[in-house]
């Protein structure tokens, strides 16, 4: 029988890392779903800036993508690997933004962020976390909602933002968008989050913790212009495995 658990503390790996992944993957608004054409070529030729990245993110209506995550922990010889899908829908009217991460490997799990709550279901237990009672988790959610709407001023109250160029064979070159916490509570365990891209294409996200643990997430089969009808939204943004 499934045991409900209300307002449970967030598990370190299943909760905070999952929340980070849910929030950060929104960076696929960097034009991955656009067709090749003059506007796309021009974007690849111009070096991205913090403002241009935020402007693109602000226009995303919805996102569906597959992911593969490898978490390397100093005490373990092999990484912890998980795979699954991520969905994001921008809010409209009174409806707030919603995010869902569905893990298919190594075991089924769904993490849902909706209406100020983080809810989880792993097939054995369900948990509900009121974000207002979890300052660290709420800090993540607030920061990345600001990221999604392209609010640089609000975002910079929590992070320092920078773009770094990476030399390679592409005419546009590679780049990294780096977010570093300005202070507590995030800086007590998070060193930086690095988004790596090629031209206007994001390829992966690397999260480095103060402990030295590193989580690397790669993305595939990306639809960064996904629009959910009522039936699909009801299915995707639920705790049903």
Arithmetic mean of pLDDT, 53-65: 80
Arithmetic mean of pLDDT, 159-177: 73
- Residues 63 and 86: beta-carbon distance below 8 Å: yes
For residue 38, is pLDDT > 50? no
Most confident of 15-19, 106-110, 183-187: 106-110
For residue 78, is pLDDT > 80? yes
pLDDT for 201: 60
Arithmetic mean of pLDDT, 89-99: 81
For residue 237, is pLDDT > 80? yes
Arithmetic mean of pLDDT, 31-46: 45
For residue 33, is pLDDT > 90? no
Arithmetic mean of pLDDT, 35-58: 62
pLDDT for 160: 95
177 or 166, which is more confident? 177
Question: In Å, how far are 10, 81, 174 from 135, measured between CA atoms?
Answer: 11, 28, 35
Instruction: Give residue 60's pLDDT band: very low, low, confident or very high (50, 70, 90).
Output: confident
pLDDT for 162: 92
pLDDT for 13: 39
pLDDT for 167: 66
Q: Would you identify the CATH topology of the domain 3-236?
A: outer membrane lipoprotein receptor (LolB), chain A (2.50.20)
For residue 136, is pLDDT > 50? yes
pLDDT for 40: 47
Arithmetic mean of pLDDT, 155-164: 89
Arithmetic mean of pLDDT, 139-156: 76
99 CA to centre of own chain: 9
* Buried/exposed 73-90: b ≥16 CB within 10 Å, e otherwise: beeeeeeeebebbbbbbb
To the nearest whole number, what is the mean pLDDT of the chain? 77
pLDDT for 18: 47
Please state at what angle helix 50-57 crosses helix 135-149, rounded to 10 degrees. 90
Arithmetic mean of pLDDT, 119-123: 94
For residue 124, is pLDDT > 70? yes
């Amino acid at each position: 029988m499934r045991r409900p658990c209300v307002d449970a503390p967030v598990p370190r790996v299943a909760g905070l890392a999952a929340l980070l992944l849910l929030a950060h993957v929104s960076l696929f608004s960097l034009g991955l779903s656009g067709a090749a054409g003059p506007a796309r070529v021009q974007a690849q030729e111009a070096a991205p800036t913090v403002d241009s990245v935020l402007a693109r993110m602000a226009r995303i209506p919805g996102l569906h993508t597959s992911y593969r995550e490898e978490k390397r922990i100093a005490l373990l010889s092999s990484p912890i690997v998980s795979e699954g899908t991520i969905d994001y829908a921008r809010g409209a009217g009174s409806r707030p933004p919603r995010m869902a991460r569905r893990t298919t490997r190594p075991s089924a799990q769904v993490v849902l962020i909706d209406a100020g709550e983080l809810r989880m279901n792993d097939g054995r237990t369900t948990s509900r976390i009121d974000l207002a009672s979890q300052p660290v988790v709420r800090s993540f959610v607030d920061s990345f909602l600001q990221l999604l709407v392209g609010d640089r001023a609000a975002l910079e109250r929590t992070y320092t933002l920078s773009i770094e160029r990476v030399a390679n064979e592409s005419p546009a070159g590679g780049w990294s968008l780096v977010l570093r916490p300005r202070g507590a509570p995030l800086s007590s365990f998070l060193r930086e989050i690095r988004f790596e891209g090629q031209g206007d294409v994001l390829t992966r996200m690397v999260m480095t913790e103060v402990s030295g643990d590193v989580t690397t997430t790669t993305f595939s089969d990306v639809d960064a212009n996904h629009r959910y009808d009522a039936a699909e939204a009801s299915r995707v943004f639920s705790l049903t495995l």
